Every structure is written in structure tokens, then in C-alpha cells.
Amino acid sequence: MTTLPLLIRPESAEDAAAVERLHARAFGPGRFARTPYRLREGVPPLPTLSFTALVGTFLVGSVRVGPIRIGTDDALMLGPLTVDPSFENRGIGSALMNRSLDAARQGGHPLMLLVGDAPYYARFGFTRVPHGALTLPGPVDPARVLWRALQPDADITARGEVASVRSLPA
């Protein structure tokens, strides 16, 4: 864990501009073309599961989580998890992940999906999605599609097309 005076708190509407600047610094303009951004586009992050990390008044990290569906099952899409490059390797990303996962479990959510680095996310219980289990709305490296069951057997029953909640028929 970090020795910085770190405050993890729910993301607020006032954080939006600072979080977007953080994403731009960490991921650059190419982030908008990636499949996970397609799932998040136009869908606000869930306020009970999305958190920011502050050192003093400086926003140094953010984790956002939004609703998705896998087939007909409700699920969560984690991402992005972002830490300001000048504050990396200080436990901020881990603190944000743990806070978000705890909130999701306590909220009774069944499953969390992400596209990311398997060795990093394995420490939080994420595993590779079995080949062919999911269909995402764009190209993605299958080795980077990871999930974590938050409720028993949620990763066994979830199969099908991944869609943002806003794009599904009412």
C-alpha cells in the first residue's frame, strides 16, 4: 500500500473533467477506438462502484464501473482503471480495485468483466474468459478479456453477446 496520504472516495460529478484529463494523459486519444470504450460510450459510470483517489486535492487515480449485459444476464464492465503516470507503483490502482470490487460484491452484482493485462488483474481474482464464451462489439485480444465472478457460479452461466445497457431494447 502507498505511504502517500491517499483518500479513496466515490467519484462525483465534479470529478468528471479531472478524470477525463487523467484518461487522456494515461491512454491518449487512441482510447476512443478501443472496444471497451464502445461499451462505455454514452453510459455514465455507476456512482456506487466508481471511485477516485486523491493525494491532497490532486486527483491521482480513478476506477469506473458501468452496467453491461452478457446475453440476458446483468454484469459490470470495469474500466478504465487509471493512475496518473507520476504516481504509479504506489498501490493506488490496487486500492481503487479493492474498493470497487468490495462495493460490487456488497451490492449483489454477479460478475465483473474487463479488458486488460491478465498478470496484473489475476491478483484480484480475474481469469481469462473461456474462448468463445463471449462476443464483444469490436476487435479485442481474447487473452485480455477477463472476468471475475462476484457471486457463486456467475462465470459459469454467463455466455453470449456483451452489450452496453443503453443499447439494448427496452
pLDDT (tens digit per residue) in 90-116: 999 999 999 999 999 999 999 999 999
Residue 164 carries which side chain, given as an amino acid letter?
S
**Domain regions of the chain by residue span:** 6-167
Residue 147: name the closest of 169, 164, 124 by CA: 124
- Asked if 4 contacts 84 with a C-beta cutoff of 8 angstroms, the reply is no
pLDDT computed for residue 95 by the predictor? 97
Residue type, 101: L
- C-alpha closest to that of 48 among 94, 20, 11: 11
Cell of 98: 479493492
Tell me the pLDDT tens digit for each residue of 35-66.
777 787 888 899 999 999 999 999 999 999 99
| Helix, strand, coil abundance in the chain, percent, nearest 5 | 35, 30, 35
At the top level of CATH, the class of 6-167 is alpha beta
Q: Is 156 helix (H, G, I), strand (E, B) or coil?
A: helix
Q: What is the pLDDT of residue 1?
A: 47
- By three-state DSSP, how is residue 170 classified? coil
In the chain the first and final C-alpha atoms are separated, in Å, by 43
> How many other β-carbons are positioned within 10 Å of the β-carbon of residue 12?
10
Tell me whether strands 134-135 and 160-164 are parallel, antiparallel or unpaired: parallel
Contact 134, 106 (CB under 8 A): no
